[in-house]
Amino acid sequence: MSLHLVLHALAVKKHADAPVLAEFTGLSQADVARLLGEAAGSGRVVAAQGKYVLAPLARLALDGHYAREYANVRANATFLQAYENFERINVQLKTLITDWQTIEVGGARVANDHSDASYDIRIVDRLGNLHERTDRILAQLVQGLPRLEYYRRKLTEALERAEDGHSEWVSDARLPSYHTLWFELHEDLLRILGRRRAE
Amino acid sequence: MGSATLPDGRWVISIAGHRIPDKELIGGKAWSIAKMGTLGLPVPPAFVVTTRACVAYLQTGAFPTGLVEEIAAGIAWLESATDRRFGSGPRPLLVSVRSGAPVSMPGMMDTILNLGVNDVTEQSLATDCSDDRFARDTHRRFIELYAAIVLKVDSAVLGNVEDLTSWREAIASAAGVPLPGNVVEQLHGAVRAVFESWNSRRARRYREHHGVPDHFGTAVVVQAMVFGNLDEQSGTGVLFTRNPVTGERSVFGEFLPKAQGEDVVSGRHTPLPLDEMRNHTPRAFAELMRAAQLLERENGDVQDIEFTVERGRLFLLQTRVAKRAPLAAVRIAAEMVREGIAEPDSAFAKLTCEQVRHVLSPRLPSGTADSAVILARGEGASYGIGCGVVVTDPDEAEMRAHGGEDVVLVRATTSPNDIHGMIAARAIVTEQGGSTSHAAVVGRALGRPVIVGCGAGNVMPLAGRTVTVDGGSGVVYADRLKLLVPAEDADTALADLLRWAELRSPVKVAAAPPPHAVLFDLDAVDDVVNPDSLRRFLSGIDLGSALHGRVLSSETAVAACVASGATLLIANPRLPVLLAAIRAVAERSAAHSKDV
């Protein structure tokens, strides 16, 4: 399970160093370093400048193991119901992020240049509302799979940074922003349950 | 409507149109309603439960003595002003309830609409509007809002919304408290919910972080609702005082005859161009035109005005500064100065560097769609033009971009695993998904042109071809097309702005360095994106030197140059850099006056 978990973390995170992977998996840094060393030795991961990536073949092999690793979760009705609720709220999150990035002007959408603070405050406020509803769904998911607590904590951190006026924490793709974490969570759930992304 | 006034109470103040009470007492929203009233503009009557009442409530957890009576007096005043009755027919009074802090902040209570509708008044409303469905929708909307905002229950998942009685019971059992049927109790519940939202987690964090004192409290605005669906002489609409897309100096908007605001959202009616309103309600139209001009002059900027006409009478619901497309922003800024509505300084304060850069960014010459070969079409999801070789694998995209090639990343769909390839690409194109898909959202965050939804099998086969992607129109063209770079002095609006900006800028900005100038490339400075390291570098050079570099497209970098006393920056186009320099000085003096 542990090796699969580290490889899974790399599949979700793409590039990551040992401390990030330890936080994600809930394993100790020493364990993660040992597992990464093993995986690098057998060619399953490749190290580059202190960060790791999955080797292409390891990615394929990994995909074949989810059904076994997550058999319990896939049979857990509460977890599946919570996942369906997450998919519903996912649609709202995507609309919200689109409203954050673009504004409507005379019927056409143009890029939001973030010059109107009150517009941005309203969106961050909506994100706060959505977060509170998401958090209830996450609490149910965590009951089925405790490591998902990681997302609850990190999403709250990103939200609070955005609320403090650091607006890049809403959707900047280069930071563990709210949207970045959300997509990682979505990817994680899709992998766990063997589903495919709609778009 | 009647005009008897309500004497100011200890806790409640009417917004009656002849004066503007203190903003700290009534909050921002009531303040702008009062402001419109003093300009002689028609607004629906409203009263405010003041921040003073909120502070008293938060100290004891109960309404202060006299508040219930003063709210009742406020309602009686609204009844006489509108000739309607709260909680009974034949013409029921409905009100909206809003939070109104002196400073807007997250976590405050959302607006409750339609308060005053219950089983009895729903019937009267149906008769008054001759529309059973409208009355039922109004009732349902109220229950939904009250459940979500006051009782904190997501009513959409509870029971059958067609059967109001069982729906209300389901909401009450989920909330653990009943949903009152009595309109006065509902109003008190809503006022209490506004007061309590002052101490919501988000509002508290916001105040802590932005230095807003906790003891301000929030006001509650209670405003009579007006109806745009009563007869053929009624309607609702929105007006922009200038065209927000082109900037053209003519009013622009939409009008829905015999409809209420929510009908616009529900799609039950198709809006008409604003001009049609002239035929439906000519007097209200003429009054609206006068109001539009007055509000634009008074506020010194283009306004976005929401209005309703009830039985031929115009009511202004809200006015705010209009959002605008970049092209409109540039044109409006220049014309407002020429017309004497705004000073150059305030026009510059409203124009962002991003907007100017957007207008000056390279584009495809007009007529491209006729002459070039179109390979695919999709939905344009992020503005801009990008050219390169089509690559369908993100790792390959990253590798080839690293080797200096321009690449366009094409995928069936994108996922977080593709981000490194999206960062490396000049443009992103997908076969599936719409404007909220991952590719669209991430592409916009990265500032890359994006086209989504080109259709399965339509773009993946383009691998290896050189293409030009227009993220605005959603077209993929064959080959690398020639781009048109707009000149910043060709357009009169831009040329005027450039001239005014040069007079105000603390630093000279030239398109090319003068002969014999000592030139410094700021991009070569270590850790140049950090303003501190830029300042350190500047402290060690002759400030008469010419400074250039791509980093000058960042406003913070320009601000660091200005603060260090630089005298000559080299950039093309010049206007965005001049604007950033002017803004840097304005922000510094604002910060200075705050300290003093």
Q: What pairs with residue B468 in β-bridges?
A: B387, B477
Q: Of the given ranges (B16-30, B175-189, B305-319), which has the lowest mean pLDDT? A: B16-30
Chain B residue closest in CA terms to A171? B445
Average pLDDT over residues B266-279: 81
Q: Of the given ranges (A34-43, A104-113, B199-208), which has the lowest mean pLDDT? A: A104-113
CATH, domain range A2-69: 1.10.10.10
Q: Is residue B177 less than 8 Å (CB to CB) from chain A?
A: no
In the numeric block, the tokens 């995209």 are attached to: B397
* Touching B: A residues 5-34, CB under 8 Å: 11-12, 14-15
Q: Is residue A167 less than 8 Å (CB to CB) from chain B?
A: no
Structural contact between residues B422 and B438, judged by C-beta atoms closer than 8 angstroms: no
CA B476 to chain centre: 31
Q: Tell whether omega for the bond before B90 is within 30 degrees of 0, i.e. cis.
A: yes
The mean predicted confidence, pLDDT, of chain A is: 90
Q: Which domains does chain B have, with CATH numbers?
A: 12-224 (3.30.1490.20), 235-324 (3.30.470.20), 368-478 (3.50.30.10), 494-595 (no CATH)
Q: Is residue A165 less than 8 Å (CB to CB) from chain B?
A: yes
Q: What is the pLDDT of residues B7-27, one digit of tens each?
A: 888 999 999 767 888 999 999
> How close is the nearest chain B Cα to the Cα of A22, in Å?
19
Residues of A in contact with B358 (CB under 8 A): 111
Task: Name the CA dihedral angle for B258, B260, B264, B270, rounded to a multiple of 10 degrees.
Answer: -10
* Touching B: A residues 61-100, CB under 8 Å: 91, 94-95, 97-98
Q: Is residue B298 less than 8 Å (CB to CB) from chain A?
A: no
The better pLDDT of the pair B87, B5 is held by B87
Residue B481 structure tokens:
């097309």
Q: Say whether pLDDT at A184 is over 60.
A: yes
Structural contact between residues B351 and B333, judged by C-beta atoms closer than 8 angstroms: yes
pLDDT at B593: 66
pLDDT at B323: 87
* Closest listed residue to residue B46, CA positions, set B81, B9, B11, B18: B81
Q: Is residue B273 less than 8 Å (CB to CB) from chain A?
A: no
Chain A residue closest in CA terms to B449? A111
Residues of B in contact with A12 (CB under 8 A): 416
Instruction: Say whether A125 and B423 touch across the interface (CB within 8 A).
Output: no
pLDDT at B268: 61
Task: Name the CA dihedral angle for B425, B428, B431, B432, rounded to a multiple of 10 degrees.
Answer: 120
Structural contact between residues A174 and B529, judged by C-beta atoms closer than 8 angstroms: no
Residue B123 structure tokens:
């019937």
Residues of B in contact with A51 (CB under 8 A): none
Q: Is residue B283 less than 8 Å (CB to CB) from chain A?
A: no
Report the relative pairing of strands B385-391 and B252-257 from DSSP bridges.
unpaired
* Touching A: B residues 80-139, CB under 8 Å: 104-108
Residues of A in contact with B420 (CB under 8 A): 14-15
Instruction: Say whether A105 and B245 touch across the interface (CB within 8 A).
Output: yes
Residues of A in contact with B383 (CB under 8 A): 110-111
* Touching A: B residues 420-459, CB under 8 Å: 420, 422-423, 432-438, 440-442, 444-446
Residues with Cβ within 8 Å of A166's Cβ and at least 6 positions away in sequence, in order, are: none
Instruction: Say whether B446 and A184 touch across the interface (CB within 8 A).
Output: no
Instruction: Say whether B328 and A94 touch across the interface (CB within 8 A).
Output: no
Q: Say whether pLDDT at A124 is over 80.
A: yes
ipTM of this predicted complex?
A: 0.72
Average pLDDT over residues B246-258: 91
B202, B210, B323 member nearest A116 (Cβ): B323
B252, B382, B415 member nearest A197 (Cβ): B415
Average pLDDT over residues B195-203: 90
- The residues spanned by each domain of chain A are 2-69, 71-193
What's the pLDDT band for B156 if we cut at 50, 70, 90? low
A102, A125, A173 member nearest B202 (Cβ): A125
Instruction: Say whether B245 and A108 touch across the interface (CB within 8 A).
Output: yes
Residues of A in contact with B471 (CB under 8 A): none
Q: Say whether pLDDT at B176 is over 70.
A: yes
Instruction: Say whether A125 and B434 touch across the interface (CB within 8 A).
Output: no
pLDDT at B263: 65
Residue B388 structure tokens:
């390169």
What's the pLDDT band for B241 if we cut at 50, 70, 90? very high
> What sign does the dihedral B141-B145-B151-B152 (CA atoms) show?
positive
> What sign does the dihedral A96-A98-A103-A106 (CA atoms) show?
negative
> How close is the nearest chain A Cα to the Cα of B70, in Å?
31
pLDDT at A185: 96
Instruction: Say whether B107 and A128 touch across the interface (CB within 8 A).
Output: yes
Q: Say whether pLDDT at A194 is over 50.
A: yes
* Touching B: A residues 91-150, CB under 8 Å: 91, 94-95, 97-98, 101-111, 113, 115-116, 118-119, 121-122, 124-125, 128, 133
DSSP for residue B405: -
SS3 call for A47: strand
Instruction: Say whether B354 and A113 touch across the interface (CB within 8 A).
Output: yes
- For B226, other C-beta atoms within 10 Å of its C-beta total 26
**DSSP string computed for B520-541:** EEGGGSTTTTSHHHHHHHHHTS
SS3 for B56-102, per residue? HHHHHCCCCCCHHHHHHHHHHHHHHHHCCECCCCCCECCEEEEEECC
Average pLDDT over residues B451-459: 94
Residues of A in contact with B437 (CB under 8 A): 94, 199
Residue B440 structure tokens:
């669209």
Instruction: Say whether B441 and A97 touch across the interface (CB within 8 A).
Output: yes
Instruction: Say whether B440 and A115 touch across the interface (CB within 8 A).
Output: no
Average pLDDT over residues B359-365: 89
Q: What is the pLDDT of residues B514-530, one digit of tens each?
A: 988 889 998 888 777 77
Is the pTM higher than 0.90? The answer reads no
CB-side neighbour CA atoms (13 Å) of A158: 22
Q: Of the given ranges (B108-112, B153-157, B397-401), which has the lowest mean pLDDT? A: B153-157
**Cα separation values, B495 from B130, B491, B506, B508, Å:** 57, 6, 19, 16
Residues with Cβ within 8 Å of B22's Cβ and at least 6 positions away in sequence, in order, are: none
Q: Of the given ranges (A153-167, B145-159, B259-273, B464-478), which has the lowest mean pLDDT? A: B259-273
Average pLDDT over residues B493-504: 94
Size of interface A-B (CB pairs under 8 A): 113
> How close is the nearest chain A Cα to the Cα of B504, in Å?
21
What's the pLDDT band for B2 if we cut at 50, 70, 90? very low
DSSP for residue B517: -
Q: Say whether pLDDT at B434 is over 90.
A: no
* Closest listed residue to residue B471, CA positions, set B434, B432, B433, B428: B428
What's the pLDDT band for B596 if we cut at 50, 70, 90? very low
Q: Of the given ranges (B47-61, B276-290, B540-554), which has the lowest mean pLDDT? A: B540-554
Instruction: Say whether B445 and A179 touch across the interface (CB within 8 A).
Output: yes
Share of chain B above pLDDT 90, in %: 56
